[in-house]
Amino acid sequence: MSRIGKNPVPLPSTVKVDLQGQTLKVTGPKGELSYTAPIGIAMKIEDTQLIVEPLNHSKKLKAMHGTVRALAANMIIGVTEGYTRELEIQGVGFKAIMKGQSIILNLGYSHEINFPVPEGLTIEVDGSGTNVKVTGCDKQAVGQAAAQIRSYYKAEPYKGKGVRYKGENVRRKAGKAVA
């Protein structure tokens, strides 16, 4: 049995949980999320806790047990607190601008990159255009959007310019003049 999976998920009073068969629907102050568990994983609500159990002890269900519990816990945290990923843009002339429902990235290319804001997420850009904040209730969607923005120009090791997560350490290399 999974060490993570056997722990019950506490349900706050601000969260409304609807469990129909294998589908878990969670509603809270930040939004609404749903997840369909694989067949063979049972979910039940007891008191103010969500309990996840495998129906048998096959290798596949043992592997999915902790995953399903973690996804359910992430959904509950997402609809109560939400998730945030912050990005920093460094480089001369590198910046981001919000324009309607998309973000325009100037990253040193001959063209601007137009990134449409995914459904259910909010993206904020500070006044200088160097800090980007991605927020939402779905942990996977927030991480995916931040990773996609970062992938347009990852921070390079020589000058350090590019897009990086806030607090990310980029190992710097010496140029050829030092060799």
Q: Where are the domains of the chain?
A: 9-80, 83-165
- Does residue 179 surpass a pLDDT of 70? no
Q: Which of 15-19, 34-38, 57-61, 101-105 has the lowest mean pLDDT?
A: 57-61
Q: Which CATH number fits domain 83-165: 3.10.350.10, 3.90.930.12, 3.30.1950.10, 3.10.20.30?
A: 3.90.930.12
The mean pLDDT of 10-38, rounded to a whole number, is 93
This prediction's pTM = 0.89
The DSSP element (H or E) to which 20 belongs, if any, is: strand 16-20
- Does residue 39 surpass a pLDDT of 70? yes
CATH topology of domain 9-80: Outer Surface Protein A; domain 3 (3.90.930)
**Local confidence band at 176 (pLDDT 50, 70, 90 cut-offs):** confident
| Same CATH fold assignment for domains 9-80 and 83-165 | yes
pLDDT at 177: 76
